[in-house]
């Protein structure tokens, strides 16, 4: 069968790569794809982004089903359009995707359905937002309400920084346009972040392997926030006991809440969690955000660990039979290290030639994100360029294998962290993990 993956990033490369491993899959089209998907034998780039054109292609090529990677087409209603055309597609509807496309909607939803999250206020008026921030004090978190490509969150350590974020988003020339015309100001939560991603068919839920990403640009979780500089799976902090709590206190109430609101949730659901210190039975557990898609770069190590036929899992999700599905996971650890362009995250440089790439092996794959094929050459075309992902028997060995491959990968101005996986390495030494 032929499949279609919509998107152009590392997440989509990893998803298409995994689907192409299935003996049932003849070809995976990636729309629009990137330089890495252009070079992969079982994948083919499709230079289409318009929903109507994609529907026409899926019809004419008899695509078995489509999977949506990024948030923008979900928020624009591509799932609704495909379904109206009688085509099979995995992802949330436009109404369900509001869990990500509007932070105010998500916060209100969590409060109504008793899902633990940070205290907050929502504002369209800059003066009211400033007054709230002064009353609450710092540190405090300021978020653009809408989609801002991972750049609409400011974790302000001082009042000046928080007030500056309000000016940046709600000022005359708002940095994020309509996405920042409303802001959510949240209580700062301390603890350890983890990513918990599940598949949903409207009624049933199938959890994916746990993972943890690294949002800050620099080693030691310092520097500006990014879309993610690396990730690993599994995440030791999510013990079996905590896993059960997350399902019981967060995931099931979210799926049941959406159904109760008349918006059955289908697709991937990503809960970004803040996990406090203490014993698993009592440690605080709060939702930082919901995303209506797979995480990036969490997808890369997660997909490297899938051993079963992922196309079968997706068919169960489309058929409403996820309760009958299982995923066979590689018991080893996967580590993905992102190589970003010069100037990322504020002003990423594009067009640098990628002069060397580590060869892909069974246990180490370089997934492309911001790359483009220029004749026979590859060039950088975005902020996060590559995610070098390796699988090994321990977090330390997976880390070493990933960095060995990173050292074989060259382009001018590359940026990467040298400590991806550090929390997993120290988990056994910390009393709270």
* Series of mean pLDDT values for 10-residue runs along the chain (433 residues): 98 98 97 96 95 98 98 96 98 97 94 96 93 96 80 88 92 62 92 95 97 95 92 96 97 97 98 93 94 97 98 98 98 98 96 97 98 92 97 97 98 98 76 33
Give the pLDDT of residue 82.
98
Give the pLDDT of residue 151.
65
b/e per residue 2-12 (b: at least 16 CB within 10 A): ebbbbbbbbbb
Give the pLDDT of residue 431.
34
The residue length of the chain stands at 433
Structure-token pair, residue 244: 């059960």
Contact indicator for 392, 301 with CB cutoff of 8 Å: no
Query: Cα torsion at 414, 361, 43, 197 (round to 10°)?
Result: -70
Helices (H), ranges, 5-97:
10-20, 35-39, 51-60, 71-75, 78-84
Give the pLDDT of residue 430.
43
Quote the CA–CA distance of 320 and 94 in Å, as a whole number: 19
* pTM of this structure: 0.93
Among candidates 320, 261, 291, 251, which has minimal Cα distance to 75?
A: 291
Quote the CA–CA distance of 18 and 329 in Å, as a whole number: 13
Contact indicator for 271, 293 with CB cutoff of 8 Å: no
Give the pLDDT of residue 176.
63
Which pairs with CB-CB distance under 8 Å and at least 24 residues apart come from 85-89?
A: 85/55, 85/59, 87/55, 87/58, 87/59, 87/63, 88/64, 88/318, 89/65
């Amino acid at each position: 069968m032929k499949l279609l993956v919509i998107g152009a990033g590392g997440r989509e490369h990893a998803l298409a790569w995994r689907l192409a491993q299935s003996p049932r899959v003849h070809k995976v089209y990636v729309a629009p794809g990137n330089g890495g998907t252009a070079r992969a034998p079982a994948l083919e780039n499709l230079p289409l982004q318009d929903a109507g054109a994609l529907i026409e292609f899926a019809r004419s090529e008899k695509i078995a089903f489509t999977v949506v990677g990024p948030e923008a087409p979900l928020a624009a209603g591509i799932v609704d359009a495909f379904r109206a055309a009688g085509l099979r597609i995995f992802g949330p509807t436009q109404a369900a995707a509001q869990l990500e496309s509007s932070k105010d909607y998500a916060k209100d939803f969590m409060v109504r359905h008793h899902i633990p999250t940070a205290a907050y206020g929502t504002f369209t008026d800059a003066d009211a937002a400033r007054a709230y921030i002064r009353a609450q004090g710092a540190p405090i978190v300021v978020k653009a309400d809408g989609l801002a490509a991972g750049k609409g969150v400011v974790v302000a350590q001082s009042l000046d920084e928080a007030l500056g974020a309000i000016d940046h988003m709600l000022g005359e020339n708002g940095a994020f346009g309509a996405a920042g015309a409303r802001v959510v100001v949240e209580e700062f939560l301390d603890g350890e972040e983890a990513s918990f991603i599940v598949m949903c068919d409207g009624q049933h839920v199938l959890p994916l392997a746990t993972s943890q990403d690294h949002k800050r640009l620099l080693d030691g979780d310092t520097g500006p926030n990014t879309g993610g500089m690396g990730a690993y799976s599994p995440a030791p902090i999510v013990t079996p006991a905590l896993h059960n709590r997350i399902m019981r206190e967060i995931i099931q109430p979210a799926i049941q809440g959406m159904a109760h609101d008349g918006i059955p949730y289908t697709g991937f659901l990503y809960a970004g969690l803040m996990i406090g210190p203490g014993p698993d039975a009592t440690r605080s557990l709060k939702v930082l955000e919901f995303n209506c898609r797979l995480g990036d770069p969490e997808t890369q190590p997660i997909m490297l660990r899938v051993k079963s036929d992922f196309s079968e899992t997706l068919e169960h999700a489309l058929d409403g039979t996820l309760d009958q599905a299982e995923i066979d996971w590689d018991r080893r650890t996967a580590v993905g290290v992102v190589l970003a362009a010069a100037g990322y995250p504020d002003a990423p440089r594009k067009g640098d030639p990628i002069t060397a790439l580590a060869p892909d092996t069974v246990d180490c794959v370089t997934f492309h994100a911001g790359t483009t094929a220029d004749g026979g050459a590859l060039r950088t075309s975005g902020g996060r360029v590559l995610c070098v992902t390796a699988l090994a028997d321990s977090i330390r060995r997976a880390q070493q294998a990933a960095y060995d491959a990173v050292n074989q990968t060259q382009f001018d101005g590359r940026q990467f962290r040298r400590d991806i996986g550090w929390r997993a390495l120290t988990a056994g030494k910390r009393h709270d993990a």
